[in-house]
Amino acid sequence: MYVRTVAAAAAVLGITLSALAGPASATAPSHRAAGPKAVPAAVRAPAPLAGPKAGPLTGLLGLPVVYAHRGASAYAPENTLASIDLAAHLGIDWVENDVQRTKDGVLVVVHDDTLKRTTDVRKVFPNRSPWRVKDFTAAEIARLDAGSWFRPEFAGARIPTLRQYMDRVERNQGRLLLEVKKPELYPGIERQILDLLDRTGWLDQRHVASRLVVQSFSADSVALVHKLRPDVVTAFLGAPPEEDLERYAAFSDRINPWFREISAEWVADVHALRGPHGRPMEVDTWIVDDPETTRRVVEMGVDGIITNAPDVVRRTVYGY
């Protein structure tokens, strides 16, 4: 029933929203039909953006919000400025990232707790095994190439500091789903992240109301963020059983699960609870990159879809 309604809505929206989307549709790269690994031409030389494109249209009419996971990471190296610029060029305003900390206390945006997979660290620092993020200074990390592993044309992309990253999201007029990654490795990182967000203007009422969510796989970390800044929207990453959900509702506005772990019933159980801000709790699921799975989770009633291929998911849900 729900999926039929959504399908009908999407069919209509495919026309209506395409027309509304205007500039984003016009600038959308022509790679879309080629599949997630094709490289959009736009990424090679992203121009500064004049303002948000079609992104804010997602989330309308009860359809899920689309989040670009680690940026548009199917097409550009994850968690780099190129990946969030590309998300913006695709008209996706929400980006997701992962925040960790260097040896000298600088917040950086990188997913793994070692630098091996996504940089040339073994070549640049051959004697520093196991190449943990927390064992390198910010200056050392700034020397690493975080783009070549993905495609040669991204050579020279860097692991951004969170400060650099926030400035770019702001320039793109974007919104951020910020993950506190492995907080057990970085005591005090929650307060440090919030301090930086405050300094960069991201904790003012305008940002907190609609442009920022902080999430973590660590319930303790999410609870601490809520305690330090009760106004910030929070999310717990995972799929707790129905009987435990109420406990999370004390400090988490959302429960964000892997799509394979959920059902329509579980999503309804989450929606039946109210989070710390008095609103029904929401569900943003990950990582959904194909049309069939997209339709499946939409039918379950999720509120958001976190995806490496945000153009694919948006087209499936909204028709543009």
Which residues would be at the binding site for Ca ion (CB under 5 A)? Answer: 98, 179
CB of 181 to ligand G3P, least distance (A): 6
CB of 98 or CB of 145, closer to Ca ion: 98
CB of 179 or CB of 311, closer to Ca ion: 179
Find which of Ca ion, ligand G3P, none residue 314 binds, CB within 5 to 8 Å per kind.
none
CB of 178 to ligand G3P, least distance (A): 10
Interior/surface letters 234-247, b for 16+ CB within 10 angstroms, e for the rest: bbbbbbbeeeebee
CB of 286 to ligand G3P, least distance (A): 4
Q: How far is CA 195 from CA 54, 189, 203, 251, in A?
A: 31, 10, 9, 20
Residue with CB nearest Ca ion? 179
CB of 125 or CB of 258, closer to ligand G3P: 258
- Alpha-carbon span 146 to 236, nearest angstrom: 28
Q: Which residues are catalytic?
A: 69, 111
Let me know: does 304 contact 313? Beta carbons within 8 Å: no
CA max distance for the chain: 59
CB of 98 or CB of 282, closer to ligand G3P: 98
Find which of Ca ion, ligand G3P, none residue 54 binds, CB within 5 to 8 Å per kind.
none
Binding site for ligand G3P (CB under 6 A): 69, 96, 98, 111, 179, 237, 256, 286, 306
Contacts of 126 (CB under 8 A, 6+ apart): none
Find which of ligand G3P, Ca ion, none residue 306 binds, CB within 5 to 8 Å per kind.
ligand G3P
CB of 85 or CB of 179, closer to Ca ion: 179
Find which of ligand G3P, Ca ion, none residue 259 binds, CB within 5 to 8 Å per kind.
none
- Alpha-carbon span 124 to 310, nearest angstrom: 33
